[in-house]
Amino acid sequence: MQFSLTILGSGASIPLADRNPTAQLLQLDSRKFLLDCGEGTQMQIRRFSARPQQISHIFISHLHGDHFYGLIGLINTFHLLNRKSELHIYGIQALKEILDLQLEQSHTALNYPLEFYPVNPEISSVIFEDELVSVRTIPLVHRIPTCGFLVGEKKGRQRSFAYCTDTAYTEKIIPLVKNCDLLYHEATFTHDRQADATAKFHSTAREAATIAQKAGVKKLLIGHYSARYKELDGLLEEARAVFPETYLATDGLKFQI
């Protein structure tokens, strides 16, 4: 089964010319899962991926704007393209209230079914499962309720991908991501800005690598870089000093799991 990841956005907070806010597209055979949907995501989908209408499930980690401000635009574009197939969205209950208000106030009656599934970010639970794949939440530590997602094959090689976006350093996630094939872990800052990371409930590149090392994952992908970093070599070097199998998430990168 094909199991691949495309980075649609690798930045934090604000869009840059070469770095969109967070979004990742995960393809498992014919399934396309979208993880977060920052501003401009639908343009990135068109740049880096064919057939955006094949996206069937969208998982939103939390309600900071750089992770979901692109969602209503994508939902509306699907409507304008006369989508008929169901779209499944997972996030905290407040996200449904936001989407309902946006659709109501724009007098938009979608011509396809939109199914919403509320997620409790404080506990780890399976929120989606079919015969080939499962998706489990990973509670994270951030300024507002936030969770990551563990996506795993149920048959074949049983590969797994863990998505741990905005979070302070927490070893509580280690049992959940242990031995996964690919871990994406935010690395907003280098370690010389540890005080900033702690104050903003983010992680440094060294901390992301420490989690990868302690969890025994095969590969680490870091991202969600602060806009202060025009070059990313320092983040990569810092992480690789702890965990050599570290790679940079950059917009357009395609990674085979």
Q: Catalogue the active-site residues.
A: 66
Q: Which two tokens stand for residue 53?
A: 């209408």
Which 8-state DSSP code applies to residue 191?
G
Stretch (H or E) spanning 35: strand 31-35
Contact (CB, 8 A) for 44 and 8: yes
Contact (CB, 8 A) for 226 and 188: yes
DSSP string, 122-150: TS--EEEE-SSEEEEEEE--SSS--EEEE
Contact (CB, 8 A) for 119 and 152: no
Query: Cβ of 231: how many Cβ atoms within 10 Å?
Result: 7
Alpha helices, DSSP H, located in the chain: 41-48, 65-68, 71-80, 93-105, 174-177, 194-199, 205-215, 233-240
Q: What is the rounded (10 degree) CA torsion for 203, 187, 143, 58?
A: -140
Q: Which two tokens stand for residue 161?
A: 């991908």
Alpha carbons within 13 angstroms on the beta-carbon side of residue 224 total 29
Instruction: Give the span between the Cα atoms of 109 and 236, in whole angstroms.
Output: 46
Query: Cβ of 47: how many Cβ atoms within 10 Å?
Result: 12
